[in-house]
Amino acid sequence: MTQKQSTLDNILIRADQWLREAYMISAEQLGLFRIVFCLTSIFVLGIPNYLWLGDVPGYLFSPPLISFSSLFNGFPPSWFFICVTSLLWICYIFLLFGYKTKLVSVAITVLHLVGNSFVFSFGKIDHSILLDILPFVLAGSGWGNSFSIDEKRNEISQNSPWTVTLMALMVSFGLFTAGFQKVAGGWLNTSVSSSYFSFISGFFKLDRDAFFAPYLSTYTNAFFWESADYMAVFLELLFLILFFFPSKFRVFLILVSLFHLLNVLMFNISFSGYLLIYSLFLFWNFNPKKLENYIFNLLNFRSVAIAIAIALSYLFFVNSISELPFRYRPSVINLFVSQLFNEYQLYTGLIICITFFILILRQKINIRPVKSNAIISED
């Protein structure tokens, strides 16, 4: 082997090791993350409901040219959406209890992508993609190896810690694309603040007038708004570099979370579901033993069957009353929050942001490893 080959080999060995260990977290945290992900999806964010697509006239069908729905010449019949939606709910319940975790993780992403390709068949694509692909990316992470029925049945799969690194790459790249599009679209022009323009058009066109919005609509300080323009672009572009520096990546995740909170309060735009994803890369401070006792009492066939029955009854009840938030992403919390879609999104967004920061302030979520239950990363 020549010296050149040996150097290259050494670099590749170090790269392999870095990819495996850079974002490594404990199996217990992954298991707990799986449970929190499912509970947040069911109770707060809502699991998508595709049943309403069965009522839409076929004439409005205009899918993205490159998508699964593009293979069709119109919306499929109602039974198709009943199957996709019911299967999605069942898969979430299985994932919550950690039953056939690998299989249902892949199934959840596939069902999301199939259903969403029809939701986005009115000429607009929404960008919930990171939440949709998360179960697929983590399918091989071993997130079903703790606090799960799989663990009780000794059906533990091999851990692939690099899957968390892969998710970090997706988040970094996603944020980078947002920053890049801003720069390419003239966001940083100095004649007028693009943030202010976005804010004003949302305020008048989409009635985004809650929280701080009424006070900000007349606040035209150029320095304030231009700073907001540059801050947003700087943060988003920086993430592609931060991916290679996990400890700094985690610090900036907190800053971006603050940015999301300000977005909710000022612009009334909620991307707060992403805070759930960010929490995957941070270190959770909890007592695995205490939690294990509590969770293992719930893990049995009877609990899963009852949960599936409740979830499906809830889904069909929701569809029958046809109120806006219920139709698209029914969650338990929207029974109590609001019937209006924008308000529902805003308040749930605010709840997630506040919960996230309370957990950080109480040091339940940390940017540094917690000795008791996390594996120290090497960056």
Partner 1 sequence: MNLNKHKLTFSFIALGIFLIGQFVFTIKIIEPYPAIILPGFGKFPEYSENTLSFTDFELHAVFSDGKAQVLQKEKVFKEIIPWHIPSNTYNLLTSSRFSETGSPKEMRILGYTFSIQRTKLVGMPKNKEAEFKKWLLERVIEVSESNEVVGLNIVYIKRTVKKGVLINEKVIDTKTINLR
Position 20 contacts partner 1 (CB under 8 A): yes
Q: Give, as ranges, the residues between 312 and 331 that touch partner 1 (CB under 8 A).
A: 324, 328
Closer to partner 1 by CB, 16 or 378: give it.
16
**Interface region with partner 1, contact rule CB under 8 A, candidates 9-17, 39-47, 96-104, 350-358:** 9-17
Position 246 contacts partner 1 (CB under 8 A): no
State both tokens at 254: 């907190």
Vertex 351 angle, CA 345 and 230, to 5°: 75
SS3 for 265-281 is HHHCCCCCHHHHHHHHH
Distance CA 167, CA 160 (A): 12
The SS3 of residue 73 is coil
136 contacts: CB under 8 Å, gap ≥ 6: 105, 106, 108, 109, 110
**Amino acid in position 365:** I
Eight-class DSSP state of 50: -
Closer to partner 1 by CB, 101 or 345: give it.
345
Q: Give, as ranges, the residues between 159 and 178 that touch partner 1 (CB under 8 A).
A: 162, 165-166, 169-170, 173-175, 177-178
CA end-to-end span of the chain, whole Å?
A: 29
Q: Which of 196, 225, 281, 283 binds partner 1 (CB under 8 A)?
A: 196
Q: Give, as ranges, the residues between 338 and 357 that touch partner 1 (CB under 8 A).
A: 341-342
Position 153 contacts partner 1 (CB under 8 A): no
Q: Which of 10, 83, 153, 219 binds partner 1 (CB under 8 A)?
A: 219
**Amino acid in position 296:** F
Between 162-184 and 3-21, two packed helices, what is the crossing angle to 10 degrees? 90
**Interface region with partner 1, contact rule CB under 8 A, candidates 115-123, 138-146, 286-294, 297-305:** 115-123
**Interface region with partner 1, contact rule CB under 8 A, candidates 127-135, 278-286, 294-302, 306-314:** 127-135
In the complex, the smallest distance separating the C-beta of residue 79 from partner 1, rounded to whole angstroms, is 18
In the complex, the smallest distance separating the C-beta of residue 37 from partner 1, rounded to whole angstroms, is 19
**Interface region with partner 1, contact rule CB under 8 A, candidates 67-75, 244-252, 282-290, 363-371:** 67-75
**Amino acid in position 89:** W
**Amino acid in position 80:** F
How many chain residues interact with partner 1 (CB under 8 A)?
A: 83
Q: Tell me which residue of 342, 332, 329, 344 sits closest to 50, measured CA to CA.
A: 329
Closer to partner 1 by CB, 219 or 294: give it.
219
